[in-house]
């Protein structure tokens, strides 16, 4: 639980969230904060483990420096170990998702959720997250298949339990129509996204109009109303039947919209409108003025969708934009007891969606539960003995540092870490020494089962992680450790001490 200086409370176990909220003074500590944020941006998950591995690599490098081994030697050894580890992981440990099918995606999602608040309800959230990501599949100009996480809109609604959360096809807006007289369903929608006020135009501050005839006053008032009405008519004339704006709409314009049979929604979030504009092919318009100084609204600025409908979902009215033409979109509506819980659920879901995206885009997975780290530990230890230089020591320490992950997993599950890790290492050692075709080769997939406190085949058990996540976290941890190892001395400029003047002038 983190309480900031204003008194806002954040409850989280997401590494990047915790580190970004801490005010870290130490320069080396800041590198770790950046490391977690970079991992969150690049992969979306594995933020805690990357910091744990980097810290362990540094701790062990420090021991080697005390043994009079030069940092350059350690860095060379670490770099060599990292390269070999990545090579071994991609060639020996990774499994193609195609051979495992949709189940693999759900299992990756469950693995990512297991340490989060929604871990106990993973049977509901994992398929929901997979469906949401598969619904937003897009192919870009270069012919690459992409799954944008931002195309999945996550809405939070108070009340009920987490299991009442639902997945909706289409982009959900947490708004309602501006007037009860409007239609609540518009098929073949032409959507105008506006970032402007559709209220009666008022004179700007400091503008004075001097009149000599009281009847002119009425004309001025009428013109004020007409300016906005003309704008509304131009938008409607372009063929718009759904108008979404970030600002307000007053009664005068509402009447115009109701008579035209259009749906108008006011006070939408700007980021929502940007996403809807991207999904429907619309342009977010901030002003109707063109280069000639006139006000026009072109039909090309409109976006299209199969239908826009207002639906009642649980206790709230939502507007759903279904069948967007350019990018498909989907929404997940989370339910929960309070704000803190909903925020943490959203963070957990973001990590899960990112993991599914990485799995779909990279197409390979590795067994989780400490299997990769233990396999690399055995492989690098054996590999280190083939080196004839001092780098051997650095490589062996790199191998030992990786065991911090299975050890920590066992400790978190209240199991005997030393016993479990020893058992896991013996399995992996047998697998790597076994000849090709031996049934012991399957021991490569063995990881921890933290519920029963034993070792099992994690591919069969469905504990999977995308290869890209492991590779990135290993490389990032290595780079962070090396960037600190290169430092010989820290020179700090102390702030200039100002003499305190006596206010009384004594």
As annotated, the active-site residues are 14, 47-48, 351
- Are 265 and 289 within 8 A, CB to CB? no
Contacts for 27-30 with beta carbons within 8 Å, 24 or more apart? 27/490, 28/484
Q: How many CB atoms lie within 10 A of CB 166?
A: 16
Between CA 270 and CA 274, with CA 272 as vertex, the angle to 5 degrees is 70
Q: Is 265 exposed, middle or buried (0-12, 13-18, 19+ CB in 10 A)?
A: buried
Q: What residues contact 472, with CB distance under 8 A and at least 6 apart? A: 39, 42, 43, 46
Q: Is 479 exposed, middle or buried (0-12, 13-18, 19+ CB in 10 A)?
A: middle
3 state DSSP class of 381? helix
Q: What residues contact 145, with CB distance under 8 A and at least 6 apart? A: 137, 138, 139, 360, 361
**301: phi then psi, degrees, rounded to nearest 5:** -80, -10
Q: What residues contact 53, with CB distance under 8 A and at least 6 apart? A: 401, 402, 404, 405, 473, 474, 477
3 state DSSP class of 305? strand
Q: How many CB atoms lie within 10 A of CB 70?
A: 11
C-alpha to C-alpha distance for 39 and 48, rounded to whole angstroms: 9
């Amino acid at each position: 639980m983190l309480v900031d200086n204003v008194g806002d409370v954040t409850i989280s176990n997401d590494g990047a969230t915790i580190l970004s909220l801490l005010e870290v003074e130490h320069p080396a500590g800041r590198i770790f904060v950046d490391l977690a944020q970079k991992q969150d941006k690049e992969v979306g998950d594995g933020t805690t483990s990357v910091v744990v591995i980097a810290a362990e690599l540094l701790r062990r490098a420090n021991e080697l420096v005390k043994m009079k081994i030069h940092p350059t030697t350690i860095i060379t050894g670490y770099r060599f170990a990292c390269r070999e580890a990545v090579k071994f992981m991609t060639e020996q440990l990774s499994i193609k998702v195609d051979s495992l099918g949709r189940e693999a995606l759900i299992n990756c999602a469950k693995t990512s959720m297991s340490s989060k608040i929604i871990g106990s309800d993973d049977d509901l959230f994992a398929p929901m997250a997979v469906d949401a990501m598969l619904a937003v599949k897009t192919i870009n100009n270069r012919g690459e298949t992409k799954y944008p996480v931002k195309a999945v809109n996550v809405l939070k609604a108070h009340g009920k339990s987490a299991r009442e959360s639902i997945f909706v096809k289409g982009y959900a807006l947490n708004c309602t129509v501006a007037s009860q007289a409007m239609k609540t369903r518009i098929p073949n929608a032409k959507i105008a996204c506006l970032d402007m006020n559709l209220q009666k135009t008022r004179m700007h501050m400091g503008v004075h109009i001097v009149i000599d005839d009281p009847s002119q006053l009425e004309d001025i008032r009428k013109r004020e109303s007409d300016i906005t009405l003309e704008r509304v008519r131009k938008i409607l004339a372009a063929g718009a039947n759904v108008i979404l704006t970030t600002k307000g709409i007053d009664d005068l314009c509402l009447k115009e919209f109701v008579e035209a049979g259009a749906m108008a929604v006011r006070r939408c979030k700007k980021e929502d409108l940007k996403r809807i504009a991207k999904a429907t092919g619309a342009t977010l318009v901030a002003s109707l003025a063109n280069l000639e100084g006139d006000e026009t609204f072109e039909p090309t600025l409109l976006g299209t969708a199969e239908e826009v409908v207002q639906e009642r979902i649980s206790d709230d009215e939502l507007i759903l934009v279904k069948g967007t033409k350019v990018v498909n979109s989907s929404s997940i509506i989370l339910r929960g007891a309070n704000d803190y819980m909903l925020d943490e659920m959203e963070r957990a879901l973001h990590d899960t969606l990112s993991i599914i995206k990485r799995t779909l885009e990279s197409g390979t997975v590795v067994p989780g539960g400490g299997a990769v780290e233990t396999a690399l530990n055995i492989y690098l230890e054996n590999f280190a003995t083939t080196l004839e230089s001092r780098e051997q020591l650095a490589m062996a320490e790199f191998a030992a540092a990786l065991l911090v992950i299975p050890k920590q997993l066992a400790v978190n599950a209240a199991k005997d870490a030393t016993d479990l890790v020893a058992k896991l290492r013996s399995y992996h050692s047998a697998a790597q020494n076994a000849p090709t075709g031996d049934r012991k080769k399957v021991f490569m997939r063995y990881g921890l089962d933290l519920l029963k406190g034993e070792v099992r085949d994690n591919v069969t058990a469905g504990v999977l992680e995308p290869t890209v996540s492991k590779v990135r976290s290993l490389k990032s941890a290595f780079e962070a450790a090396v960037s600190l190892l290169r430092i010989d001395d820290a020179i700090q400029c102390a702030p200039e001490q100002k003499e305190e003047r006596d206010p009384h002038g004594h």
